[in-house]
Structures are given as structure tokens and as C-alpha cells.
Amino acid sequence: MALMGTSDPSGEDEASQEKPFVLRALQIALVVSLYWVTSISMVFLNKYLLDSPSLQLDTPIFVTFYQCLVTALLCKGLSTLATCWPGAVDFPTLHLDLRVARSILPLSVVFIGMITFNNLCLKYVGVAFYNVGRSLTTVFNVLLSYLLLKQTTSFYALLTCGTIIGGFWLGVDQEGAEGTLSWTGTVFGVLASLCVSLNAIYTKKVLPAVDGSIWRLTFYNNVNACILFLPLLLLLGELRALHHFPLLTSAHFWGMMTLGGLFGFAIGYVTGLQIKFTSPLTHNVSGTAKACAQTVLAVLYYEDTKSFLWWASNMMVLGGSFAYTWVRGWEMKTQEDPNPKESEKSTMEV
């Protein structure tokens, strides 16, 4: 049972080249399907936990805290298994080092903002609008890369960002026209997008503190998050709300909560698995297609009726995201294998 970030990539690349095309295609199809099922299931399950009329549980911070706790315990459990049975489980050794935990603390604060605002956005908006509500991540990536890293962006990439922004505003307008707009959820979605971008930037900076191991970083992030969530639970009165929650002793409730934590852990694994068997570019394209499928499934499941312009806003967001991924991939390929004629065309930057 090998987990991402712990195996030898060169040996795996050679092995994959020796496999027949049909077998490799089947592996890729299975991995992509696993990513889609895990990601979409996690969104629908979180929506149930955060905003289900049958549960009536108004404790989004506790739901997020519990998912972080499950992830941290799973990481530690797998690390222990890897130590006891090194041949059966391949996972990095995890020991809680307070010095490392403190060095990662700034990233953990951003991480908490990312997962909390994601869940708060999902609590207040429908699953169908969830993708549009959090669609500004790419825009913030471009903006923060320029402000913090002084990295410029090509004109064509900026055009795709403009398409995403246009789709976002059209989606907000159409949600308002249909009477289903939640400004609270929309603001949380924008904040979630900002934190996702900040998380990606700061992750690169702190990876050396955990020897470049994504799983060690996941462990420390979730441990820090569990500790930092405790005062929030007290200040926001969620522990008192839990005390009066009628299903607190229900096995079904805790089973669903634990399943949500398992999905939160699994999404990190299947994301890395999809990148390993395809490429970062293909992963982004798959994520865009998954978002489209998720939107359609949400409309069908909740039996919503949406206008043409509402669907157009989703297509603008998804199309802009796909175009940005394609443009960035083309630019990276051009940088690796420069062509004089093409380089002259791509000199216009901001």
C-alpha cells in the first residue's frame, strides 16, 4: 500500500513505460474515476452535515475540526503501521516536533481559513452554485503571484481570468434573479478562493521544514488546526450547541461525520495519485470537468430549474478555467523547448 510522496518516481516511470497501452489507459481511467467519485461525494456529504434539514446542526466549525482530527489520526495510524510492517505499508514516519509545528503555524492559519471558508460557503450556497462561488482561485493565483512573488502573467492568461470573473459576476446576478443568492455564502466563497491561493504559495515555502513530504505537512497542518479550532469552538458557542444536539449519541451521525473525515483524507491521496498517473495539467483539466459534472448532478439531485444565463455563467467559469490551464501548459512547454518565432509572439506580459 504505497502512498504518494514515498516512492521512487524514476522506477515507477520506467515500469509504466513497459506496461501495455490498454493497461495504462485502464489505470488512468480508474484513477480519474476515483478522484471524481471521492471529490463529488465529499462535497455532497459535507453539504448534508452542514445544512441538512434532518440534522439541523449549526456547528460548521466543529464539523471542520472533526474532519481535521480524523485526518491527523489517520496519518499517525498509517505512520505507525508503516513502522510495524514496512513491507506492507509505505508511509513516512511521523513524530510531533514542536519546533516544526511552530514553523508551519503561519501556513496552518491559512489552511484553517481555507477549509473553514470552504465549508461555510457550502453551508450557505447550493451545491450547484458552489463551483461558481469558489471560482476566483485562479484569479487570486495570478494576482498574488504578482504581488508576493513578482511573477508576471501573459496577456492570454489574463484574458482567461477575465472570462472567469465575468462568469462569476453573471452567476451571482442569476442567483439573485432566481432569489437563491446568499451574499454571506458568496463572500465566504471569495475568501475561500483567496485562502486556497495563499495556501499554494506558502506550502512551497514551508515544505523544506518537513523534508519535502506532503504527508508530514498534512499531519502538522491538521494537528495545528485541531489545537487552533478549540478556542473558536468555545468563543462561538458551538460546544454548547453540541450539548443540546438531539442526535449527539446517534451512531449514524458519528458515522457520517467520520466518513466526512475519511473523504477529507482520501482527497489528498487521490489528488496525488491522479497527478502521478497523468500530469499536473491533466489533473487541472480533470478537476474542471469534475466541477461541470458536479454542477449537473446537483441540479438533477435537488431538482432545480436554472435559466440559460445561469448555465452560461457556469460555462464561462469552466471554460475560462480550462483555457487558463491550457495557456499555462502551452507557455511552460514553450519555455522548456523555446522556438524563436513563438517566443516573439509571447513577449507581451504585464
The pLDDT score that the predictor gives to residue 346 is 43
pLDDT in tens, 217-249: 999 999 999 999 999 999 999 999 999 999 999
pLDDT in tens, 29-57: 999 999 999 999 999 999 999 999 889 89
Neighbour count for residue 344 (Cβ, 10 Å):
8
The whole-angstrom separation of Cα 164 and Cα 143 is 14
Specify if 156 maps to a domain: yes
Q: Among 98-112, 183-197, 269-283, whose mean pLDDT is lowest?
A: 269-283
- Return the C-alpha cell found at 79: 505512520
- Identify the residue with better confidence: 326 or 339: 326
The pLDDT score that the predictor gives to residue 342 is 46
In percent, the amount of the chain with pLDDT more than 90 equals 65
- Return the C-alpha cell found at 36: 471524481
pLDDT band for 59, please (50, 70, 90 cuts).
very high
Specify if 61 maps to a domain: yes
Q: How many residues does the chain have?
A: 350
Specify if 342 maps to a domain: no
Specify if 9 maps to a domain: no
Q: Which amino acid, 38?
A: T
Specify if 24 maps to a domain: no
Query: Which residue range is the domain that position 233 belongs to?
Result: 43-334
The whole-angstrom separation of Cα 270 and Cα 38 is 8
- Return the C-alpha cell found at 131: 463551483
- Identify the residue with better confidence: 81 or 16: 81
Specify if 13 maps to a domain: no
CA dihedral 77, 88, 270, 112 (to 10 degrees): 20
Q: Which of 132, 136, 107, 295 is nearest to 219 (CA)?
A: 107
- With b for 16 or more beta-carbon neighbours within 10 A and e for fewer, the 67-98 pattern comes to bbbbbbbbbbebbeebeeeeeebbbbebeeee
Specify if 36 maps to a domain: no
| Total structural domains within the chain | 1
Whether the pLDDT of residue 304 is over 80: the answer is yes
Tell me the pTM.
0.86
- Mean pLDDT computed over every residue of the chain: 87
Asked whether the beta carbons of 311 and 72 are under 8 A apart, the reply is: no
| 3-class SS letters over the chain | CECCCCCCHHHHHHHHHHCCHHHHHHHHHHHHHHHHHHHHHHHHHHHHHHHCCCCCCCCHHHHHHHHHHHHHHHHHHHHHHHHHCCCCCECCCCCCCHHHHHHHHHHHHHHHHHHHHHHHHHHHCCHHHHHHHCCCHHHHHHHHHHHHHCCCCEHHHHHHHHHHHHHHHHHHHHHHHCCCCCHHHHHHHHHHHHHHHHHHHHHHHHHHHHCCCHHHHHHHHHHHHHHHHHHHHHHCCHHHHHHCCCCCCCHHHHHHHHHHHHHHHHHHHHHHHHHHHCCHHHHHHHHHHHHHHHHHHHHHHCCCCCCHHHHHHHHHHHHHHHHHHHHHHHHHHHHHCCCHHHHHHCCCEC
Whether the pLDDT of residue 18 is over 80: the answer is no
Specify if 269 maps to a domain: yes
Asked whether the beta carbons of 221 and 103 are under 8 A apart, the reply is: no
pLDDT band for 338, please (50, 70, 90 cuts).
low
